[in-house]
Amino acid sequence: MSEKVVAVVGATGAVGQEMIKTLEQRNFPVKELRLFASERSEGKKLRFKGSEIPVEVLKEDVFKKYRIEIALFSAGASTSKVFSPIAASSGTIVIDNSSAFRMDDDVPLVVPEVNPEDVKYHKGIIANPNCSTIQMLVALKPIYDYSRIKRIIVSTYQAVSGAGGMAIQELEDELKTYVNGGRETLLNFKPSKFPYPIALNVIPRIDIILDNLYSKEEMKIVNETRKILHDPDIKVSSTTVRVPVIKGHSEAVWIETETKVTPEKARELLSNAKGVKLMDDPFNDVYPTPLLHGHDTDDVYVGRIREDISTENGLVMWIVADNLRKGAALNAVQIAELLV
């Protein structure tokens, strides 16, 4: 692979730092790495392959100035909407982790284990899907290829790190508050990232509520699944829930297939699937959990596979993945690997 001039935009954020780490761990062919963030991070230095690289302020001219070939964006949708087209017009290929372009017809939405061929249709921008969509489809694609999935119902249990570093700090502060003062003190805690304290709690809303009473996060899973699978007719319904976990998203997934897929067949398919680790021996408590399998892990873990006793061709399963790695940084770097 030829070496590339690579940029990470949003380098000081949780996902941006994970992108830098992932580039190094996977030995991506980086000729030169440039790091960008907002003014408040200017001058900060981040380590990459034994060197300290200064963080620069993102400006319109940097893509041409440094001849950046691939830019990994994780700076939020508003920044991506402004700077991604500028980068693309400068000859940079943008891999964007925000929701800014995911549903644009001209922008491929790619999970390398699911639809790698879509990268060749890019026009300068490739979108990284939502973290919950990524891990679900990595697990479901082997089954979908064997027997088309007609319907998906998913409930997510999403870690606070999906809301950024300040959300992690808020959970930790709330836990300290509870330990020191008990439930009543925790109830008086004034959160800033979530509508209620998240410690010892679950909150059944992620992102804003839309007119159809689904949240924006829930509709991301619906619409992104259809686009990635190129299947506008697949029926998808989701409920997304924030839980007091620092890292690692979990999902309970129900599917209905066109022809019957037994749990044994599903296990066979998943045991041979790229990017999947099967952990399915519930009698011996072998199943994935976010604490054990959602920290600094690259695979999507699947367990608790069983027949859905409420429908003829149904399966139920439990899926866990590191939301900052496979749900964001790793998926973006894998897309970059497809390009080179």
Please tell me the distance from the alpha carbon of residue 298 to that of residue 310, in angstroms, as a whole number. 33
Please tell me the distance from the alpha carbon of residue 120 to that of residue 99, in angstroms, as a whole number. 20
Task: Read off the tokens for 37.
Answer: 């963030």
In one letter, which amino acid is 307? E
Residue with tokens 């059944």: 204
Q: Give the number of residues written for the chain.
A: 340
Q: Quick check: is 131 catalytic?
A: yes
Q: Quick check: is 230 catalytic?
A: no
Residue with tokens 């699937």: 273
Kindly report the backbone phi and psi dihedral angles of residue 10, in degrees, each rounded to the nearest multiple of 5, phi listed first.
Answer: 90, 35
State the catalytic residue, choosing from 131, 230, 293, 295: 131
Judge whether 244 and 290 are in contact, CB under 8 Å: no
State the catalytic residue, choosing from 122, 249, 293, 295: 249
Task: Read off the tokens for 77.
Answer: 């949708």
* 3-state DSSP assignment of residue 17: helix
The catalytic residue positions are: 131, 249
